[in-house]
């Protein structure tokens, strides 16, 4: 009789432990089940228990995100990229968290399937120095790349961005992200940004709050402004005629940062907008507020 009573007691304890772990595991992860190569996606972690920092794990890297307490839950939002040239057909996203009551982080995860979008070919004619740069410019081009790399290493752990991003100019799209470019008959890679219609001199405004991390005249990009919106989300505004901010400035969404121009490798005045998420160029279009009027294509 004694042993029969003893057994249910331990079963009960075991059940209690199971229940406790289910409560402690009150951690949820929201993310899309499919994402196009070349797009970024939004992932959200939600915890019922206090959390200081969520850590999202994606494609071999870990991205810490400060938790925000709202409506009785701790939440963390992150934008994560899928490279346009991703070889894999899917990725595994997971999240862990470290909080006051969590010494042993739990992990929840899900698979995200990658799919291809159609990427048309675009033929353009530009000054031949932008197709085959002269030898004396190669060092400058290398130095430009290094400046951009250094700017992208900026550390801004608070999220200053929110969606959608404000349009930097009112005009619609003139060239899509991911278009394969042929300059003067020679293939020159892929267009890793979004071209927006705008006349020379039109004010260019910040897509979101952030910090100016680079302003310079770059060989291919012309006059360029790079902004960091926090947690690894950057935007870049290229081919400007004029730059009206300085490195280190904090800017607000909608604040003027320069004017549209035709500097660098261009066929005419327009704004090239890049969105760089965790170091990867992705399509800005899905995150932009809709264009006013009938100019959007």
What's the CA gap between 249 and 227, in Å, rounded? 9
Looking at 97-105, 194-202, 211-219, 222-230, which segment touches Zn ion (CB under 5 A)?
194-202
Closer to Zn ion at the Cβ: 193 or 284? 193
Q: How far is CA 251 from the centre of its chain?
A: 18
- Residue 158, Cβ neighbours under 10 Å: how many? 10
Closer to Zn ion at the Cβ: 65 or 238? 238
- Residue 83, Cβ neighbours under 10 Å: how many? 15
Helix (H/G/I), strand (E/B), else coil: 273: strand
Residue nearest to Zn ion (CB): 272
| Alpha-carbon distances of 42 from 31, 45, 146, rounded to whole Å | 6, 10, 29
Q: What angle do CA 70, 74, 79 make, to 5 degrees?
A: 100
Looking at 5-13, 105-113, 132-140, 189-197, which segment touches Zn ion (CB under 5 A)?
189-197
Site size for Zn ion (CB under 5 A): 3
Q: Does 272 bind Zn ion (CB under 5 A)?
A: yes
Closer to Zn ion at the Cβ: 53 or 190? 190
What's the CA gap between 41 and 34, in Å, rounded? 9
Looking at 79-87, 154-162, 248-256, 269-277, which segment touches Zn ion (CB under 5 A)?
269-277
Q: Does 193 bind Zn ion (CB under 5 A)?
A: yes
Closer to Zn ion at the Cβ: 193 or 230? 193
Q: Does 231 bind Zn ion (CB under 5 A)?
A: no
Interface residues toward Zn ion, by CB under 5 A: 193, 195, 272
């Amino acid at each position: 009789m004694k042993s029969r009573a003893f057994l249910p007691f331990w079963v009960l304890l075991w059940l209690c432990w199971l229940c406790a772990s289910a409560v402690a595991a009150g951690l949820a992860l929201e993310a899309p089940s499919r994402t196009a190569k070349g797009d970024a996606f939004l992932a959200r972690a939600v915890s019922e228990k206090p959390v200081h920092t969520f850590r999202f794990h994606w494609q071999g890297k870990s991205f810490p995100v400060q938790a925000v307490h709202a409506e009785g839950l701790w939440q963390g939002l992150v934008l994560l990229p899928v490279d346009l040239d991703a070889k894999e057909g899917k990725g595994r996203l997971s999240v862990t968290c470290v909080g006051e009551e969590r010494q042993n982080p739990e992990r929840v995860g899900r698979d995200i399937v990658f799919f291809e979008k159609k990427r048309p070919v675009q033929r353009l004619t530009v000054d031949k120095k932008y197709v085959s740069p002269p030898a004396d410019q190669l060092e400058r081009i290398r130095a430009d790349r290094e400046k951009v790399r250094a700017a992208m290493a900026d550390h801004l752990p608070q999220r200053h961005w929110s969606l959608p991003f404000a349009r930097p100019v009112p005009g619609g799209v003139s060239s899509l992200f991911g278009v394969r470019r042929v300059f003067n008959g020679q293939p020159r890679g892929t267009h890793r940004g979004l071209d927006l219609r705008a006349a020379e001199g039109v004010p260019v405004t910040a897509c979101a709050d952030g910090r100016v991390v680079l302003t310079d005249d770059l060989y291919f990009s012309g006059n360029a402004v790079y902004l960091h919106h926090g947690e690894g989300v950057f935007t870049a505004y290229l081919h400007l005629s004029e730059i009206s901010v300085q490195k280190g400035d904090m800017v607000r969404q909608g604040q003027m940062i320069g004017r549209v121009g035709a500097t660098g490798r261009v066929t005419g005045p327009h704004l090239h907008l890049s969105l760089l998420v965790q170091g990867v160029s992705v399509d800005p279009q899905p995150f932009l507020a809709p264009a006013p009027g009938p100019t959007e294509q």
